[in-house]
């Protein structure tokens, strides 16, 4: 039994209506998309088809380990991040600050007052209120449900709701990244109160939101269909595009071929090796922004003991020719970087230890650490070979090629690395469980440069994303000190010290930044892209296909 019921609208009303009117919803969706492609009809304000690289594990924004593009269309946060990395209000009327009185320092920590936008309703017509903010905090902190990350919620002592549109969040300590606390939105109290959220499949597969779209259908392994909600709070004229179909196409070549053929209309995060072949497609516009993220190899110190020796980690860093990767496989579309905070950020520190390509230095460090070449060319120590497995996303040709190149470069210094390809959905749960040796992937970072979640010793999953399982007391103290410093100038100094310490420790092998290339219809207006992990669908409500 579902906890709520929303009437579904007929997807077949706009395109090829007479042919589809008698079909079921699932058949109508597939036939609608196929009919559009056969007729040569491109994207329209009736239907936009997105070629997406993976299927979500859940549509619960707090529980997902995958980029939240689909969820962003349905569930709105109190704030969002715009195309210039500015944190801007969404369901809140303003972003609380010390200057506007929304943030007040206390003896214990700080109080943050969120003023909610009046007139906003959940898709079932129930008002969105401060009670939902309080319920969200309580549900996460109660302890019987483990979201993808607690992301500062464990710093909250409680929430007061003096009226239906005011939520006063009490922090046990200073917490500088507070502005993004509710970027993932809130949970509907009237739907989830008293329930086991992990088992609330009606919500997790079709979340109740306040956004411009709602889930019409999720057909496992094939697609998620979204339809515009009636009476969206921004106005009845929004969203401009009435239906969006996210088609799951895990293979990059298939995804790009379908885009070129007009079978899908939009592909977010175009793989860098596919950019050149799309430049000649007249129906497509490539929207490019410098990403606030980085590609790297995570080294799991808990799983593979040799990674606990910093000399081994430094040796592996010296063994990789990053410039070669960028010039060849990546077609010079990205830039070699040296840490987790990117040049876009006000906290970026360029002056850190670097590890240029130097196989001789790599070999010397491994010798120093006691790893001597064996008869098969693989180094060994105390009877154990220096051999591990790297996992990365299957169907992602760039990553497969990068992994193979790194594999050869490691072999040249006596390190054996196998490669295991895992589909995009499963790899997310794998990294969360920590059941891997090493992983090639990226972190798309938020606008706030908080990196405590990635490197503090106590921020391993589910408390954070420290999947290197790095345990450094000095770095952990420094990171928490930066979190507790609201003054941006002073906080930047602390974060720069933290970046220098991370570079010394080499918990992961940093490769290059993430240039974000989104292939969108040439006729699409209002698309702006986004450098952060907010993703390109942050302003989907105002997208519109221009009339010829």
- pLDDT at site 112: 98
Separation of alpha carbons 391 and 441, rounded Å: 9
* pLDDT tens digits along 414-455: 999 999 999 988 998 899 999 999 999 999 999 999 999 999
- pLDDT at site 134: 98
Reply yes or no on whether the pLDDT at 23 is more than 60. no
Identify the CA nearest to 131 among candidates 144, 143, 114, 148.
Answer: 114
Helix, strand, coil abundance in the chain, percent, nearest 5? 30, 20, 45
Reply yes or no on whether the pLDDT at 15 is more than 50. no
- Are 531 and 292 within 8 A, CB to CB? yes
Joined tokens for residue 171: 């922090």
* pLDDT tens digits along 262-289: 999 999 999 998 999 899 899 999 999 9
Average pLDDT over every residue of 242-256: 95
For the chain, what percent of residues have pLDDT higher than 70?
Answer: 93
- pLDDT at site 455: 98
Cis? peptide before 535, omega within 30° of 0: no
Tell me how far apart the 2 most distant CA atoms of the chain are, in Å.
75
* pLDDT tens digits along 519-537: 999 999 999 999 999 999 9
Instruction: Name the pLDDT band for 118 (thresholds 50, 70, 90).
Output: very high
* pLDDT tens digits along 482-502: 999 999 999 999 999 999 999
Instruction: Name the pLDDT band for 18 (thresholds 50, 70, 90).
Output: very low
- pLDDT at site 66: 81
- Are 407 and 509 within 8 A, CB to CB? no
Instruction: Name the pLDDT band for 127 (thresholds 50, 70, 90).
Output: very high
Q: What angle do CA 127, 128, 130 make, to 5 degrees?
A: 120
- pLDDT at site 429: 87
Average pLDDT over every residue of 342-354: 97
Strands (E), 402-464: 416-422, 438-444
Average pLDDT of the chain to the nearest whole number = 92
Reply yes or no on whether the pLDDT at 404 is more than 70. yes
- pLDDT at site 348: 97
Identify the CA nearest to 223 among candidates 29, 90, 354.
Answer: 29
Reply yes or no on whether the pLDDT at 37 is more than 90. no
State pTM to two decimals. 0.88
- pLDDT at site 16: 40
More confident residue, 67 or 211: 211
For the chain, what percent of residues have pLDDT higher than 90?
Answer: 86
Q: Which long-range contacts (CB under 8 A, 24 or more apart) does 119-124 make?
A: 119/233, 120/91, 120/210, 120/233, 121/210, 121/231, 121/233, 122/188, 122/190, 122/208, 122/209, 122/210, 123/6, 123/208, 123/209, 123/210, 123/214, 123/229, 124/4, 124/5, 124/6, 124/208
- pLDDT at site 286: 97
- Are 447 and 414 within 8 A, CB to CB? no
Cis? peptide before 462, omega within 30° of 0: yes
Residue 26, SS3? helix
- pLDDT at site 129: 98
């Amino acid at each position: 039994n579902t906890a709520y019921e929303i009437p579904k609208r007929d997807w077949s009303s706009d395109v090829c209506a007479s042919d589809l009117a008698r079909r079921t919803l699932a058949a109508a969706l597939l036939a609608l998309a196929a009919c559009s492609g056969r007729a040569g009809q491109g994207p329209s304000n009736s239907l936009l088809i997105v070629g997406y690289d993976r299927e979500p594990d859940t549509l619960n924004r707090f529980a997902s380990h995958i980029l939240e593009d689909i969820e962003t269309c349905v569930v709105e946060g109190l704030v969002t991040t715009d195309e210039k990395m500015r944190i801007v209000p969404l369901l809140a009327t303003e972003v609380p600050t010390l200057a506007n009185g929304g943030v007040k320092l206390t003896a214990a920590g700080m109080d943050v007052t969120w003023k909610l936008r009046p007139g906003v309703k959940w898709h079932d017509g129930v008002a969105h209120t401060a009670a939902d903010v309080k319920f969200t905090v309580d549900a996460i902190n109660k302890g019987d449900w483990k979201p993808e990350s607690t992301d500062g919620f464990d710093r909250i002592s409680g929430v007061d709701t003096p009226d239906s549109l005011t939520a006063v969040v009490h922090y046990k300590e200073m917490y500088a990244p507070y502005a993004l606390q509710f970027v993932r939105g809130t949970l509907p109290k009237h739907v989830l109160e008293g329930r086991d959220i992990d088992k609330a499949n009606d919500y997790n597969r079709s979340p109740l939101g306040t956004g411009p779209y709602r889930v019409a259908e999720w057909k496992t392994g094939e697609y998620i269909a979204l339809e515009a909600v009636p009476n969206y709070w921004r106005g009845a004229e929004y969203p401009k595009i009435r239906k969006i179909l996210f088609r799951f196409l895990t293979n990059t070549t298939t995804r790009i071929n379908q885009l070129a053929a007009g079978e899908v209309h939009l592909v977010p995060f175009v793989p860098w090796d596919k950019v050149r072949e799309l430049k000649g497609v007249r129906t497509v516009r490539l929207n490019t922004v410098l990403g606030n993220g980085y590609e790297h190899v995570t080294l799991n110190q808990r799983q593979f003991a040799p990674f606990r020796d910093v000399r081994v980690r430094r040796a592996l860093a010296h063994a990789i020719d990053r410039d070669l990767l960028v010039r060849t496989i990546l077609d010079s579309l990205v830039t070699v970087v040296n840490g987790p905070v990117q040049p876009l950020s006000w906290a970026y520190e360029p002056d850190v230890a670097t590890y240029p390509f130097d196989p001789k230095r790599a070999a010397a460090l491994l010798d120093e650490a006691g790893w001597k070449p064996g008869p098969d060319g693989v180094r060994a120590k105390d009877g154990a070979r220096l051999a591990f497995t790297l996992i990365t996303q299957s169907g992602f040709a760039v990553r497969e090629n990068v992994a193979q190149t790194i594999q050869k470069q490691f072999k040249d210094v006596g390190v054996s690395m196998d490669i295991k390809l895992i589909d995009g959905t499963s790899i997310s749960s794998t990294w969360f469980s920590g059941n891997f040796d090493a992983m090639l992937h990226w972190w798309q970072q938020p606008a706030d440069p908080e990196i405590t979640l990635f490197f503090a010793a106590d921020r391993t999953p589910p408390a954070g994303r420290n999947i290197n399982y790095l345990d450094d007391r000095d770095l952990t103290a420094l990171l928490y000190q930066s979190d507790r410093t609201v003054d941006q100038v002073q906080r930047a100094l602390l974060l720069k010290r933290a970046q220098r310490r991370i570079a010394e420790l080499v918990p992961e092998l940093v490769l290059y930044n993430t240039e974000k290339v989104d292939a969108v219809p040439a006729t699409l207006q209002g698309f702006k892209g986004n450098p952060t992990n907010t993703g390109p669908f942050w302003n989907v409500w105002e997208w519109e296909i221009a009339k010829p």
